[in-house]
Amino acid sequence: MMLSRRLALSALLAAALWPSLSTAAEPVLDIHAHGETRHLSLEDIERSDTGEVTMRHFEGPEGTFSGVWLNDFLADQNLDEASRLRFIALDDYTSFLTPADREEKRFLLATRLDGTPLTPDNLGPLMLVVPADAEAVLKGDAPMSQWIWSIDEIQAR
């Protein structure tokens, strides 16, 4: 009786974890550069140097955002020399960054909130944030134009 309960509990736990495990390898980001398109999974993205910041996003989510530092990610993808990056969200909202923008501020390409992969319900699958500006953006003292969420595509020139 006790063994069957343990097996049932193990099966339920495995079923609950299965969606998060199975989605780690599914593409969440398309990168268009050098005349080709690459499809990257969360697992692919998180191979770059990771970072985290605890903050409140001005759109609501609050907690520890973790992900990869943008410049490290771009270097790993051979995009660090791009003269312009275009970040495109699921709703086609677009934000552009130049090398000067990336030198002026450190950007985090967030992949997780409190350890859980970002989803469209919490502004995922990817979010670009400027940790140093978090408080100033909340107060209205800094622009939010370089913050973009629900990113699913990057175009590099």
Q: Where are the domains of the chain?
A: 27-156
pLDDT at 3: 40
| Residue 4 confidence (pLDDT) above 80 | no
**CATH architecture entry for 27-156:** Alpha-Beta Complex (3.90)
Where residue 23 falls among pLDDT bands split at 50, 70, 90?
low
The pLDDT of residue 52 is: 97
Output the pLDDT for position 17. 42
| Burial (CB count within 10 angstroms: exposed 0-12, middle 13-18, buried 19+), residue 147 | buried
In whole angstroms, give the CA distance from residue 52 to residue 67: 6
pTM: 0.83
Mean pLDDT of all residues in 136-156:
94
Question: Considering the chain, what percentage of its residues have pLDDT values greater than 90?
Answer: 77
User: Can you list the alpha helix ranges (DSSP code H) found in 24-133?
Assistant: 42-45, 70-76, 99-104
